[in-house]
Chains A and B, each alone.
Chain A
Amino acid sequence: MKQLVVISGKGGTGKTVFTASLAALSAGLNPGDNKVVMADCDVDAADLHLLLSPDVKEKHDFKSGVTAFIDKDKCIQCGLCERLCRFDAISKDFTVDTVSCEGCSFCANACPEQAIEMKENLSGQWFISETRFGIMVHAKLGIAEENSGKLVTLVREQSKRIAEKNNSDWIIIDGSPGIGCPVIASLSGVDCAVIVTEPTLSGLHDAQRVVAVARHFNVSVIMVVNKYDLNVDVTEQIERYCQEENIAFAGKIEFNKIVVEAMVNRKTIVEYCNEDITASIKNIWDKICHYILSK
């Protein structure tokens, strides 16, 4: 069983649209074969469900971390908690800003009157669902909640458990933009990170940073340029960068307004049309398979 994660650094380069097509291509003809488990690890702005229309079979709460609550009856307003808090979460009138509170419990441990209680957060929900390509594990982080990294890890653990049980060939992970905690959590221990970028200076800048993060965690990377014909000069620049840095290059996908049309119709590109873009994605999938299996 191989795990691959699709990340990008920059947001909006086409990770999820691409991931959904990989799910379709890796699933084969019969979803009952369970060849692939999909994991949507972009837990704070998950979109993969919009293309895969999951039928939710299991729903679980994600409890993580704690938040401080001050009991006004016990509080003597000594001000210690407010002085100690490094996250500016306690106001002058001794109420806790639950959004700023990082749950360190320093205040509760230090309060001389034991007036502060740390309450467990309900930080989100996670789901196991069936889709037309097989099983999908996904999640919804609560609004303005923390610990997205932990929720990503949980989604990945569940995907792995299911993939091992079903003897699946693939776990395909849709990652989040950026290079911080959810991205690091989605990268650890995967067989390969597919980096989907776009031919813009921002896209290249951000791809370089996420390549550095993947390498920092010893994950090998393979590059895809989406919407490559929007600027062929920058696409060439990305290809040169890959050669110089010895980064595998999986291929290029053309800009096509049909991507939005397919999305509006809740279909993956490879299901929706048979145009140049479909062939490009299929070629890239073959290259990725070859790259991972030859390692």
Chain B
Amino acid sequence: MHKLLEVKNLKKYFETKNGLLHAVDGVNFYINEGETLGVVGESGCGKSTLGRVVIRLLDATDGRIIFNGQDITNLKDKRAMRKEMQIIFQDPFSSLNPRMSVSQIIEEPLRIHQLCNSDTEMKSRVSELMDTVGLASRLADSYPHELDGGRRQRIGIARALALNPKFIVCDEPVSALDVSIQAQILNLMMDLQEELNFTYMFITHDLSVVKHISDEIMVMYLGVMVEKCNADELFEHTLHPYSKALLSVIPEPTIRKTKERTLLQGEITSPINPKPGCRFAARCVYAKELCSQVTPELEEIMPEHYVACHYVKEINGL
């Protein structure tokens, strides 16, 4: 398998009044071409920041980003790279320019990269894109405020597809949508992936969505990766105590199953000047002395299943 994107020890710190905010703190992963990596975590865990650093919307503090064999961490001329890497934003209401019509929004990337030689070519490309994402061509001259959330998100997708990218970061693309529309958009994204061989990095807080769409899943907590493995594997053999707790509290729309839930005490702590040791120690039921002193490293506990926890073997009886 060809590794399309590889990230090594990536860090992103923000300077704030109260100290250094460790939004992303030493993350390593790779994504194979044509696959989907799901990134899950609660608000404030750094998943959106990670998505933005990876496509260079934000500059990394440390670490390396290798895309298609090229190190893009400090690339000056980003134009060629942008053509290959696109993003779909979370909020279809604020990510579209209200003063541009649907066709203008989709045209903009084509114009900037001078991909069309004539206006007719541009028009036909735009209508082709609108067709691909399921927008009726009569909407070409409408403005975003005239459309509902689902249609707006389709515009965002069409805009991301316009340049035929290889890699798309999807930052909570369905969170703002109703379930019936969410399902339409998820199906669309999966169909497009099959057809055009896209590679997705799919950021979400919704575990059912991420399981549905991903090949691999990585669970983040306060800027660090705590568990990463195949999507089905994560749900069958959940190893990290945080992932376990996260999975146990998803409300499922079935009434037959009664499951054991682990209610976490407390809330996600501040990522500003974090103390050494495991970031999750304060909320972890298994935490011992070592946890608050030494930061656990990511280890391959089972084949292709990585966990960062000192006591993962004892907890799971391995």
Query: Do A and B actually bind?
Result: no
- Chain B residues with a Cβ under 8 A of chain A: none
- Chain A residues with a Cβ under 8 A of chain B: none
